Amino acid sequence: MCGIVGYAGHRQALDVVLEGLSRLEYRGYDSAGIAVIAGGKIAWAKRAGKLGNLTSALAESPPLPGMVGLGHTRWATHGAPTDPNAHPHTDCGGHLAVVHNGIIENFADLRDELEARGHIMTSETDTELVAHLLEDELAGTWPGAGPADRQSAEPGPAGGWPSDGWPADAAGPPRPAAGSLAAGMRAVCQRLDGTFTLVAVDIRDPDVVVGARRNSPLVVGRGHGENFLASDVAAFISFTKEAIEIGQDQVAEIRADSVEVTNFDGSPAQVRDFVVDWDAAAAEKAGFKWFMTKEIAEQPRAIADALVGRVDRDGLLVLDEMRLSDEELRGVDKIVVLACGTSFHAGLIAKYAIEHWCKIPCEVELASEFRYSDPILTRSTLVIAISQSGETLDTLMAVRHAREQRSRVLAVCNVKGSSIPRESDAVVYTHAGPEMAVASTKAFLTQLISCYVVALYLAQVQGTMFADEIGAVLDDLRTMPAAVEEILELMEPVREVARQLAGERCVLFLGRHVGFPVALEGALKLKELAYMHAEGFAAGELKHGPIALIEPGLPVVVVVPPPSQLPVLHDKIVSNIQEIRARGARTIVIAERGDARVMPFADTLIELPVVPSLMQPLVATVPLQVFACELADAKGHDVDQPRNLAKSVTVE
Residues of this chain that bind ligand M6R (CB under 6 A): 340-343, 387-389, 392, 395, 438-440, 524, 528, 648-649
Q: How far is the CB of 387 from ligand M6R (least distance, A)?
A: 3
Counting Cβ atoms within 10 Å, is residue 10 exposed (0-12), middle (13-18) or buried (19+)?
Answer: exposed
Q: How far is the CB of 583 from ligand M6R (least distance, A)?
A: 30
Any catalytic annotation for residue 2? yes
- The vertex-519 CA angle with 583 and 339, nearest 5°, equals 150
Q: How far is the CB of 438 from ligand M6R (least distance, A)?
A: 5
Q: Catalytic one among 46, 241, 294, 647?
A: 647
Output the CA–CA distances (angstroms, integers) from residue 51 to 31, 34, 71, 86, 609, in the order listed.
Answer: 7, 10, 11, 11, 42
Q: How far is the CB of 239 from ligand M6R (least distance, A)?
A: 25
CA-to-CA distance for 634 and 511, rounded, in angstroms? 26
298/528 with CB nearer ligand M6R: 528
Q: How far is the CB of 497 from ligand M6R (least distance, A)?
A: 21
28/563 with CB nearer ligand M6R: 28
**Among 93, 102, 80, 72, CA closest to 152:** 93
Q: How far is the CB of 451 from ligand M6R (least distance, A)?
A: 13
Number of C-beta neighbours around residue 425 at 10 A:
18
Q: Catalytic one among 2, 92, 189, 362?
A: 2
Determine contact, residues 25/3, Cβ cutoff 8 Å.
Answer: yes
| End-to-end Cα spacing for the chain | 11
3-class secondary structure, 166: coil
392/446 with CB nearer ligand M6R: 392
Determine contact, residues 244/227, Cβ cutoff 8 Å.
Answer: no
Number of C-beta neighbours around residue 164 at 10 A:
8
229/340 with CB nearer ligand M6R: 340
Which DSSP letter does residue 156 get?
Answer: P
* Residues β-bridged to residue 339: 366
Q: How far is the CB of 395 from ligand M6R (least distance, A)?
A: 5
Residue nearest to ligand M6R (CB): 341
**Among 432, 267, 255, CA closest to 343:** 432
Determine contact, residues 12/66, Cβ cutoff 8 Å.
Answer: yes
18/524 with CB nearer ligand M6R: 524
353/438 with CB nearer ligand M6R: 438
415 Cβ contact partners less than 8 Å away, ≥ 6 residues apart? 232, 388, 389, 390, 391
22/395 with CB nearer ligand M6R: 395
Any catalytic annotation for residue 647? yes
Q: How far is the CB of 435 from ligand M6R (least distance, A)?
A: 9
91/528 with CB nearer ligand M6R: 528
DSSP string, 424-459: SSEEEE-------SSS-SHHHHHHHHHHHHHHHHHH
- The vertex-366 CA angle with 361 and 368, nearest 5°, equals 135
Distance of CA 651 to the CA centre of its chain: 11
| Catalytic positions, written as ranges | 2, 647
